[in-house]
Amino acid sequence: MSVALVTGGARGIGLAIVERLAEAGWQVVAAGRDSQALEAATEPLRSRGLDVDPLRVDVTDESSVAELFEGCAERYGCPDLLVNNAGIAGPTVSTVSLQRSDWESVLAVNLTGAMLCCRAVLPTMLERGAGHIINIGSITGKRPLMHRVAYASSKLGLIGLTRSLAEEVGPHGIRVNAISPGPVMGERIERVLEGQALAQGITVEEARAQFTSGTPLRRFVEPGEVADAVVALDALPGVTGIDLNVSAGLVMY
């Protein structure tokens, strides 16, 4: 059985990815900071007979990341697929008002955390000569969004990480790709919309209309659609170094 490890697996996109991979027959390790939330989120999947194992990790802590991959290896072996999904939205504020601590915390989770997980899994993947890493980015890394400089910088950094690492490890049979979702239905986008409304002096519904009117499909993306993209991308062995938009057409580059 193939093994997948998904960070940020307790809610939203991450939980949808965990579910889709498990339904496709993978042994899935769902990792996250909140052990209770992980247990509560994955219990319904386990009750359906899906192979999902919740393990705690703080992706900003090197020792915690090491313990996660050691625990996964002891139970199931090295992951065949690593999905770096853990991320935080950070503040919606002007750059002059952005606190350095907020900037650093966003980059620590969204970018450094992904790098630490890549660094932890790669030695075994390199030894085996196979493996796949998918980094979950955001179209905000490519399309400006008002007062979101920390988040945008972290997600654009993920694209750089993806492309550089794909070039580095491709000769060893390892693929590295990214998926950049657009606005995804859920609690996080609601908080972003509230922040955008406040920043622009408009209503939340007007902010929502700004997002949806810019998409050819005139809607937000569902978490399951991002999860479907993970499964589809993993099934394409000749694809590496790409950044796949799942944005209802909001970004096409």
Active site residues: 151
Q: Is 224 exposed, middle or buried (0-12, 13-18, 19+ CB in 10 A)?
A: middle
Q: Are 50 and 24 in contact (CB under 8 A)?
A: no
Angle CA(110)–CA(177)–CA(131) in degrees, nearest 5?
105
Report which DSSP code applies to 80: S
Single-letter amino acid code for the residue at 62: E
Residue in the structure block whose two tokens are 């944005």 = 247
Tokens representing residue 18 in the block = 């965990």
Cα 106 to Cα 110, 148, 157, 225, 238: the distances in Å are 6, 11, 12, 25, 32
Name the strand (E) or helix (H) holding 121: helix 113-128
The alpha carbon dihedral of 90, 38, 221, 237 has a sign of: positive
